[in-house]
Amino acid sequence: MKVLIIGLGSIAKKHLFALRQIDSSVEIVAFRSSLDASIEDGVKNVYNWDDIKKELPDFIILSNPTYLHAETIGRIIDCGVPIFIEKPVFASIGEEKEKLIQKITEQGIITYVACNLRFLHALQKIKEIIKSERVNEVNVYCGSYLPDWRPNVDFRKVYSANKEMGGGVHLDLIHELDYVYWIFGNPIETNAVLRNNSSLNIQACDYANYTWAYNDFCVSVILNYYRRTPKRSMEIVCDSGIYYVDLLKNNIVYNEHEIFSSDQQIKDTYKEQLAFFLDYILKGKNVFNSIEEAYKILCLCY
């Protein structure tokens, strides 16, 4: 198996590690934008777009900065191979993106947009549990401290902090909106508040507050970059009681009693996600979160 990676940053290296766990003989080729790019062990670098087609990869992992996704997909679409796209799918919405998606659909290109929390065991379990419950209210929260994300790196210079690079908590933490959509479906009404609330002094928004309305209940989603003690959770208030999902602990508490826990770590979800993608492109299994679905979720971010 040969895989081409475009954008060999920190998230790409997680995918690279997961790939090698699945297939130790995988051949990795990386498209690099600079001749001065670092050399990674066991990775072949290429520097020209024309070289991509010559490599004939089995699929492409697109993990360069979000604001470059649309341009890059436009360049690689004619390779005709499946594309594994790091979230979020684009940095903005609009007619140009919709035309690109239409072209992908017309050419029958297999796409998957990476939202690895769909593979977190606690979320998979709660998705099954609530099928038999009457839901009244859902409260989702994800807060952490942006300066702690990348030690020894000026957080103001990374894409997360810069709007023009596709940064902002509403896009960076799209995982929360993605799993709400995956579990509960498409809302019938939405409202969003995007703000800069903190003293981080970044250009991109550091606070997002969403309300999604469904036929019988509402979902509240709060995201931020400034919480010193990380918290990532979902509370589901049902007729029968309250389910509390702690994504950091990977467990579920129901009416103050733990009913599910898993030893799975977040890093394990990257491997499970890639295995799922490979099963689809190699064995024809059903896939979710194609570029079409991911774009629908992106539209709900604004």
Which range marks the domain in which residue 49 is found? Answer: 2-116+270-299
- Counting Cβ atoms within 10 Å, is residue 273 exposed (0-12), middle (13-18) or buried (19+)? buried
**Of 165, 141, 213, residue with least CA distance to 66:** 165
- Spatial separation of the C-alpha atoms in residues 57 and 267, rounded to whole Å: 25
Q: Which residues contact 52 (CB under 8 A, 6 or more apart)?
A: 4, 31, 46, 60, 75, 76, 79
Asked if residue 284 and residue 200 are part of one domain, the reply reads no
Asked if residue 50 and residue 35 are part of one domain, the reply reads yes
For the chain, what is the domain count? 2
Asked if residue 13 and residue 139 are part of one domain, the reply reads no
Asked if residue 239 and residue 224 are part of one domain, the reply reads yes
Q: Which pLDDT belongs to residue 287?
A: 74
Asked if residue 85 and residue 200 are part of one domain, the reply reads no
Asked if residue 256 and residue 210 are part of one domain, the reply reads yes
Sign of CA dihedral 161, 271, 24, 2: negative
* Alpha-helical segments (H) within the chain: 10-22, 49-55, 69-76, 95-107, 121-129, 169-172, 174-184, 266-283, 291-299
Sign of CA dihedral 174, 162, 211, 236: positive
Asked if residue 228 and residue 277 are part of one domain, the reply reads no
Asked if residue 154 and residue 256 are part of one domain, the reply reads yes
Q: What value, to the nearest 5°, has the Cα angle with vertex 184 and ends 132 and 208?
A: 140
Asked if residue 143 and residue 130 are part of one domain, the reply reads yes
Q: Which pLDDT belongs to residue 282?
A: 72
Task: Give the domain CATH number at 39.
Answer: 3.40.50.720
Tokens representing residue 63 in the block: 């993990």
In sequence order, what are the beta bridge partners of 61? 5, 84
The model carries a pTM of 0.94
Q: Which pLDDT belongs to residue 286?
A: 65
Q: Which pLDDT belongs to residue 45?
A: 93
Going residue by residue through the chain, which has 302 residues, state the pLDDT in tens, using 9 for 90 and above. Answer: 999 999 998 899 999 999 999 999 999 999 998 777 778 889 999 999 988 889 999 999 999 999 999 999 999 999 999 999 999 999 999 999 999 999 999 999 999 999 999 999 999 999 999 999 999 999 999 999 999 998 889 999 998 999 988 899 999 999 999 999 999 999 999 999 999 999 999 999 999 999 999 999 999 999 999 999 999 999 999 999 999 999 999 999 999 999 999 999 999 999 999 999 998 877 766 678 999 999 999 999 98
Q: Which pLDDT belongs to residue 132?
A: 96
Asked if residue 160 and residue 131 are part of one domain, the reply reads yes
Q: What value, to the nearest 5°, has the Cα angle with vertex 296 and ends 289 and 8?
A: 55
- Spatial separation of the C-alpha atoms in residues 236 and 216, rounded to whole Å: 13
* Edge-to-edge strand ranges of the sheet holding 189-195: 189-195, 207-213, 218-224, 135-145, 226-238, 242-246, 251-254, 257-261
Task: Give the domain CATH number at 252.
Answer: 3.30.360.10
Asked if residue 277 and residue 151 are part of one domain, the reply reads no
**Of 148, 206, 202, 166, residue with least CA distance to 64:** 166
Give residue for tokens 């790939």: 19
Asked if residue 112 and residue 15 are part of one domain, the reply reads yes
